[in-house]
Amino acid sequence: MNGMSLTELWPEEAALVAKWLGVKVALPVHYRFDEGATFAKELKRQAPRVKSVLLRAGESYRFNLNEGRPRRSKVE
């Protein structure tokens, strides 16, 4: 991997990993400068069904476990 260190990915690589894993939501957490926006752009290009969430310092995100899944209806 070509990230800033052995444990980091470039935004393009992170988007590809999100696609490979088949995630519904992706939050970049270790980014500097414009890398969050680059990740969101790459994610939209490589995996358009994955929702990108960019958080500012101090913000949080609550995952909805049913996000991206069809709602079940009760069968009678």
Give the DSSP per-residue string, the chain: --SSSTT---HHHHHHHHHHHT-SEE---S--TTHHHHHHHHHHHH-TTSEE-PPPTT------TTTTSPPP----
Structure confidence by residue, pLDDT tens digits, 18-72: 999 999 999 988 767 778 899 999 999 999 999 999 888 888 888 877 765 555 4
Domain map (residue ranges) of the chain: 11-52
Instruction: State pTM to two decimals.
Output: 0.70
